[in-house]
Amino acid sequence: MRREIPTFIAFFVGVICIIQFFIPHWPFGTMVDTFSDWFIILQSFAIWLGVLNLMKVSLERSLSKKKTHDRWYGFVVVLSFLLIAVIGMFFSGGREFQVPGSRFDYLYVNVYTPLSSTMFAILAFFVASASYRAFRARSWEATLLLAAAFLVMLGRAPVGDMLTQWAPEGAHMSDIANWIMTYPQVAGQRAIMIGIALGVASASLRLILGLERSYLGGD
Amino acid sequence: MLSGLACGLLLACTALAQDMPTGTGSPDTAAIAAPVIAQVPPPGPATGVTATDAPNDDGEALIVSWTASPDDGAGLRNVSSYRILRAEAGRPSGAPFDTVGLATAGNTQFIDGTTNPGRDYIYVVAALAMAPTPGGAPVEVSVQSDPSQPVHSRAQWFHTGRLNSLFAVLIVGGAILYFIARARSGKSLFIRKIGGLEAVDEAVGRATEMGRKIFYVPGTQDMDEVQTLAGITILGRVAKVAAEYEADLEVPVARSLVMVTCREVVKEAFLNAGRPDAFNEEKIYYLTDDQFGYAAGIDGLVMRDKPATMFYMGAFYAESLILAETGNSIGAIQIAGTAMPAQLPFFVAACDYTLIGEELFAASAYLSKEPKLLGSLKGQDVGKGIILLTILLGILLTSIGAITLKTSELDKLGWYNIGQWFDVQ
């Protein structure tokens, strides 16, 4: 029963979702909304599992006798969690904790947001290092990629058109870049998208019919 | 002339704004507070208000249509918007109408998506004009149309705009089911090699030899994302090999439900490998739901623990390159798989192997070699073949149409433009 009940639930919910797409009549739409609500409720309760696990793992690390940096990181996680939770719950005006100007909002705007932005900003450097590797002309395909990327980057900058002023209308660098992005790039991306769409359809069918049950544990 | 008109409206409209309750109005007055603004012509009313049942819905919408006010884009040109008012038919005389929405000037249709199936409603459309006031906010003046005939909304039993989707589902689904049945009957099916999945054993073996950890990242999305499910399926295989090799597998996750599911899958894999004692649920742990917090957490772990092998299987967004480049910087062998088209180039650039889109979903069939699962892959191929033929047919017909009708505009190609058959509402 440990595998049969989840398989039946997956089948039932999956079939109702498909039916609802084609039959807008009651009760199918209502049922799908209810399923979504249930998932949100489950998710909300499951957050506690995650939070308790995070606290357990971090506390174990910080109290560990091994003198590693992990001890300090674990300590920082526990302290940060308690700080934001206590200030948010007890010192930020109760339900108004998200109102601009509250202590919780102050921490959110001045600590959380800059930290997130910093991580996002690091992406710029990683794009540079990844591009450097990807654009090395090691093979015919990589050389083609390098040439296409060079033309697109040049076409996106004003200097590209300046260098090709002599060319006839429609053959300036920006036109070449637009052509690469509109035709070969879109064609490649659509091929991947079609594959993904069919893959999702096939995987969903396997899950709904119970052919694919490895996510329940085992093969 | 217009400035004189505005001045004339000024006093009258101030009185109007105070008298008229927001969101309600009476349709029985053609021009509101006419005595007060008698000296200034209000905008002409909308006419011919009708309501019809919205097609292909669950019976909670009516389409309200009207003929534009003569002063909307012409005449006085002072109509700024239309207010749509509704009341249930058979209401007591003089009962107020409720405002159900606004439509900007130039529009002659509004969809009221808040009706109850079976109840009769009547509608009135009020043409609104804004009168400027010196130094203050403009005030509103409105004129209402005659009420529409009573009408009620109904739920439909089939969405006719999705008939093409139904055909597609039946054809692709039928092909998949046919090949599953065929595979079950013992017919051998060819499946091409997928480099990323072939390398799983090698990657786990490398970590074992080096005595370092394996990190498995199942994406940043929850269990309602099919990519996460596909990623967890591959985790089962990786965990089994790791258990056989006695390698150290760690799974940091971004969602609590994913953590619980991963624990079950890894536990089962260790059991199947004959090493249930080696399973440690603490190795599958939650970091945070936050996208960049999760990326920062994994980056920290990677830089400190320097794992030999990293797997990224599931749905990823901007964190994909942050994770993959960090793994690359410590020299880990990296295998990624995602169906997020925008993240694929990043994984291709930073990882040793990448499962591109459909390969991620094919992984479970590929790894298990179960005929019924392999059959579904063959069904996918039939779907691809049909799409390919349709694209070729579309190119051919559109080209013939463009040459025959001497036009490159799709709208004018008529039945030559078969792309219109594939529009899904």
- Mapping DSSP onto H, E and C, the string for B406-417 reads CCCCHHHCHHHC
The Cβ of residue A215 has, within 10 Å, a number of other Cβ atoms equal to: 23
pLDDT per residue over B232-269, tens digit each?
A: 999 999 999 999 999 999 999 999 999 999 999 999 99
- Please give the Cα distance from B119 to B88 (Å, whole number): 7
B344, B338 Cβ separation under 8 angstroms? yes
CB contacts, 8 Å: B292 with chain A: 115-116, 119-120
Give, as one character, the DSSP assignment of residue B310: E
- Please give the Cα distance from B9 to A18 (Å, whole number): 56
What number is the average pLDDT over the span B179-185?
Answer: 85
- Please give the Cα distance from B224 to B228 (Å, whole number): 8
pLDDT at B273 over 60: yes
B349, A134: Cβ pair inside 8 Å? yes
> What pLDDT does residue A87 have?
94
Largest distance between two CA atoms of chain A: 75
CB contacts, 8 Å: A22 with chain B: 158-159, 162, 165-166
> What pLDDT does residue B192 have?
85
Q: Smallest Cβ distance to B261: which of A193, A204, A215?
A: A215
pLDDT at B16 over 90: no
**Any CB–CB contact under 8 A between B184 and chain A?**
no
Nearest-CA distance A198 → chain B (Å)? 6
> What pLDDT does residue B359 have?
93
- Please give the Cα distance from A188 to A194 (Å, whole number): 10
Element (H, E) at B312: strand B309-313
Nearest-CA distance A108 → chain B (Å)? 13
> What pLDDT does residue B6 have?
40
ipTM value for the complex: 0.90
Element (H, E) at B252: strand B248-253
Cis, bond preceding B307 (omega within 30 deg of 0): no
CB contacts, 8 Å: B383 with chain A: 198, 201
- Please give the Cα distance from B259 to A43 (Å, whole number): 12
**Any CB–CB contact under 8 A between B282 and chain A?**
yes
CA angle B278, B283, B288 (to 5 degrees): 165
**Any CB–CB contact under 8 A between B243 and chain A?**
no
Q: Which amino acid is at A219?
A: D
Percent of the residues in chain B that have a pLDDT greater than 70, as a whole number:
90
A116, B290: Cβ pair inside 8 Å? yes
CB contacts, 8 Å: A114 with chain B: none
Please give the interface size between A and B, counted as residue pairs whose CB atoms are below 8 Å apart. 199
pLDDT per residue over A64-117, tens digit each?
A: 887 777 788 899 999 999 999 999 999 988 888 889 999 999 999 999 999 999
* Mutation target among A126, A136, A190, A193 for the B interface, most CBs of B within 10 A: A126
pLDDT per residue over A27-43, tens digit each?
A: 999 999 999 999 999 99
B16, B25 Cβ separation under 8 angstroms? no
Element (H, E) at B334: strand B333-338
Report strand pairing: B151-152 vs B120-133: antiparallel
pLDDT-wise least confident of A165-179, A191-205, B24-38, B387-401: B24-38
What number is the average pLDDT over the span B52-72?
Answer: 94
pLDDT per residue over B363-414, tens digit each?
A: 888 888 888 788 888 888 888 899 999 999 999 999 999 999 998 888 888 8
Q: If pLDDT is split at 50, 70 and 90, which confidence band does B21 have? A: very low
B289, A116 Cβ separation under 8 angstroms? no
Nearest residue of B to residue A10, measured between CA atoms = B224
> What pLDDT does residue B377 have?
87
> What pLDDT does residue A218 have?
54
Average pLDDT in chain B? 87
